Amino acid sequence: MAATTGFITLPDNVRLAYTQTGPTSGPNIVFIPGWIQTAAQFHKQVTHFQTRFRVTTYDHRGHGDSDKPVFGYRVPRLAADLDALLEQLDLHAVTLVGHSMGASTIWAHWDLFPHTRVRKVVFIDQARSLTINPSWTAEERLLAGAAFTPEALFEMANKLAGPGGDEVRRGLAGRFYTENVDAAEFRWAEEQTAKAPARVAGAMMLGHALWDWGDVFPRFTVPVLVIAGKASIVPVESGQWIVDQVGPNARLVVFEKEEGGGHFTFVENPEKFNRVLEEFLDE
């Protein structure tokens, strides 16, 4: 099916690259990529859903084929970019599907902007906070999904932005997949992440990982699907915590390790992922 590609121009004159495919009368899905990921990495979802749905993908500022300014690398700014995309493309009754930092973008959008265009939301393998509050107990850290001490986070961000940033990025990538990931798919994904300059990778790591979105979840009023992986760096318990905070409007689906249950479930097991998402969309 033929795709429409183009750019929207944000109020700060940054251009975001987007692609749309599927029937214009179909229900709207917007896929939102994670940290230094690109829209192209949802290709297995686009191929599946474009027969019935109007599918929109886009690259964050600094990522993929979008402009790469020297400013704006904070999740609330990404939420404003998302809001501009929904408005300029005139999308309504949208299901937002966010992976990793893309989920945080949805949380910031819900926190800051009207919800009139949003019908359902999907959070793929994202912790409420990536940075440990020193006052938290071990259980609180687990339920938050936090992985970095504040010192370790700044050290990582500085390394990513520094001269050896590409090597640091490649080292991180290996932790995001299971050992069964297709080798060619993994190499291609690395090429996609390399489209984000080292300075963007470092700045966006800080602009993403420093936030704690715990107070947003009880305020969701639309159906919520949370997808987690048993072999992911994000603990499944943190996904259940999010579901518990949202309440009866939310549910958790867990991928076992042998089901491609790493950070990229939609890449490693697109058959199950697409089936689970389609069932949620049709409810």
Domains of the chain in sequence order = 4-282 (3.40.50.1820)
- For all residues of the chain together, what is the average pLDDT? 96
Query: pLDDT, tens digit, for every residue of 4-13?
Result: 999 999 999 9
Whether residue 55 contacts residue 49, with contact meaning beta carbons closer than 8 Å, is answered with yes
Positive or negative, the CA dihedral 113, 114, 115, 117 is: negative
Query: pLDDT, tens digit, for every residue of 191-201?
Result: 999 999 999 99
pLDDT > 90: percent of the chain: 96
pLDDT at position 257 is 95
Please, which pLDDT band fits residue 242 given cuts at 50, 70 and 90?
A: very high
What average pLDDT does range 130-159 have in this prediction?
Answer: 96
Query: pLDDT, tens digit, for every residue of 217-232?
Result: 999 999 999 999 999 9
Q: Against a cut of 0.95, is the pTM above it?
A: yes
Closest Cα to residue 276, out of 119, 24, 97? 97
DSSP per residue over 235-275, as a string? Answer: -HHHHHHHHHHH-TTEEEEEE-GGGT-SS-HHHH-HHHHHH
Please, which pLDDT band fits residue 79 given cuts at 50, 70 and 90?
A: very high
pLDDT at position 2 is 78
Please, which pLDDT band fits residue 173 given cuts at 50, 70 and 90?
A: confident
pLDDT > 70: percent of the chain: 100
Whether residue 36 contacts residue 193, with contact meaning beta carbons closer than 8 Å, is answered with yes
Closest Cα to residue 1, out of 56, 52, 43, 51? 51
What average pLDDT does range 240-250 have in this prediction?
Answer: 98
Please, which pLDDT band fits residue 44 given cuts at 50, 70 and 90?
A: very high
Closest Cα to residue 10, out of 58, 61, 56, 55? 61
pLDDT at position 174 is 84
